[in-house]
Amino acid sequence: MKPLDKILITGCGGQVGFELTRSLALLGEVVAIGLADVDLTNAQAIVAKLNDVKPTIIVNPAAYTAVDKAESDSATAYAINATAPEVMAQWAAQNGALLIQYSTDYVFDGTKEGMYTEQDTPNPMSVYGASKWQGEQLVAANCAAHVILRTSWVFGAHGANFLKTILRLAGERDTLNIVNDQIGAPTSAAMLADVTAHVIMRIRMSADADKAALYGTYHLTADGATSWHGYAQYVLGLGEQAGMTFKTSAAKIGGIPTTAYPTPAVRPLNSRISCDKLKRTFGLSLPTWQTSVAQAFRLVAGK
């Protein structure tokens, strides 16, 4: 009988890491680590932790995600988003482990009119996006047995995110103005974790000769797309339907262009990424962003 996998999950305190600890528990022995367990800016510390745990699967959602702060703290962003995945990839290759790495829509510049596919060449416009793109390249170059999952606009019942922020602000402010020209797919951390479990199972159940066809880069978001403004209206609409009291309303949320809300880091205006490759390869259908947001809302609001 094949022994159970030992699965190392980084970033267990984050939205995706928290959900992965749940979704991967049935696949093997999970070791979940966070900031207190290993310094991801220290390559030697990463290797020491890997040597200690000896995972057969490494799942790395940990990332430097302070997008604006990264513009003035690029060294830390690159250490966590590029060098740390490289170290994990090298260890995985040397020890026969599978590596699951997460990336972002920020690797693209957002100027394409249609949906981005895995064949489109990244052109990041921010330090965060550039560091994640470099991490992708280093993973692919150092470990054949890898899966990179690019996602966008992540939210969940655990941790801080846009959904929770909108509910809080609507209870505090008479007016809200939200950017309406950035388009993407709000994506549930729980869904990301569940799909990750499915991907890992498919790879582990496949014959060795078939595994290589499953490795590579995939896009993974909820189906559909909206703006941050549309997202905010939907969240507040759910709250209103549930009888929550706000100082403003979904109908009164104002829409503003990105230029009216300047930030240190450039955001891609078009974050729509096609998940057709993932659906086709792994036989999946994905929920709409509305379905995922409604599920998280019920958990967050207790409705």
284 token code pair: 């999946």
231 is catalytic: no
Q: Which residues does residue 188 pair with via DSSP β-bridges, in sequence order?
A: 155
DSSP symbols for 243-280? T---SS-GGG-EEE-GGGS--SSPPPSB--B--HHHHH
- Out of 128, 218, 231, 234, pick the active-site residue: 128
Question: Residues near 162 by Cβ (< 8 Å), separated by ≥ 6?
Answer: 153, 155, 186, 228, 231, 232
Q: Is the Cα torsion angle 78, 79, 80, 83 positive or negative in sign? A: positive
283 Rama sector, left if φ>0, alpha if ψ -120 to 50, beta otherwise = left
- Helix, strand, coil percent content, the chain, rounded in steps of 5: 45, 15, 40
- Tell me how far apart the alpha carbons of residues 26 and 28 are, in angstroms, rounded to a whole number: 6
Secondary structure class of 146 (helix, strand, coil): strand
Active site residues: 128
